[in-house]
Amino acid sequence: MKNRGIRLIFTVAALSISLVFVSCFYDKANKSSNSPNTLSEKEKKQGWNLLWDGKSFNGWRGIYQESFPSQGWIIEAGELICRGNEMPDSLRGGDIITEQKYQSFELKCEFKIKDKANSGVKYFVDESLKSAGKHGLGLEYAILDNENWPYDKPDYNRTCGSLYDLVRAPVNAKVKPMGEWNECRIIVDGNHIEHWLNSVKTVDIEKNSDKYYQLLQKSKYANIKGWGEFKNGHILLQDEGPRTSFRNIKIREL
């Protein structure tokens, strides 16, 4: 009886230790998959890649430049931060673009804004189209503080999640309170374009369709030859307005 009791104690102890190891393993796995600027095993299998590694400027450079801007953009606590109008105009870094060009892709990232934010994620950016200062031209996923900008009107196609100046995001697409992370998602599959803001679809349009060209002719880009015509281009993060933070910038080619 005594030996059976001892064996029972050892068995219970062994099971307890095993449960601790299993619990630690799953905790570590969950933390790893949820850590900012990392890929889960599921994402890896689905073909996702980090567009920003969370710790360096590798893979990015300034628009119309060969290297990354020496000022205006910083990395803090796993966030890629555009300091925006905190900086004098002469010291702003300007827009940044990926070194690689993309054609059909799904892109997702998180962004955090401040009061009166006015930024964006652009795609199909080609440096042959010149813009004023250090800004690039391309289709734009608008990032905006809707509550504190005059663009939140029925005749403005510039609210957060919109295809800037072409397709307005629906009213049920809400920006989270200041200081919280929002999720941006852009899908480009051939000519098909979708924008999503915090799991709400905000844009669904066919590029080069009659509707697309009608909207283009009513936009600020109507007289810019070649705008929106490129089949591929750089991804761009805009230097505009107040401080804007980005993280978890991921892409998979379709």
Which tens digit of pLDDT belongs to each residue from 5-20?
555 454 545 545 443 3
Question: What are the helix (H) ranges across 35-188?
Answer: 41-45
Q: What is the mean pLDDT of residues 85-113?
A: 92
Q: Is the pLDDT of residue 73 over 50?
A: yes
Q: What is the Cα 149 distance to its own chain's centre?
A: 21
Distances (CA, A) of 162 to 38, 146, 185, 193, 205: 27, 11, 11, 12, 11
What is the C-alpha R_g of the chain?
A: 23
**How many whole angstroms separate alpha carbon 225 and alpha carbon 246?**
31
Name the more confident of 241 and 53. 53
- What integer pLDDT is reported at residue 7 of this predicted model? 58
pTM score of the predicted model: 0.85
- What integer pLDDT is reported at residue 92 of this predicted model? 85
- What integer pLDDT is reported at residue 154 of this predicted model? 62
Question: Is the Cβ–Cβ distance between 82 and 73 less than 8 Å?
Answer: yes
Highest mean pLDDT among 24-33, 124-133, 207-216: 207-216
Highest mean pLDDT among 21-30, 126-135, 175-184: 175-184
Q: Is the pLDDT of residue 1 over 90?
A: no
Residues contacting 237, CB < 8 A, separation 6+: 80, 82, 95, 96, 97, 119, 121, 246
Strand order in the sheet with 139-144: 60-62, 96-102, 233-237, 118-125, 139-144
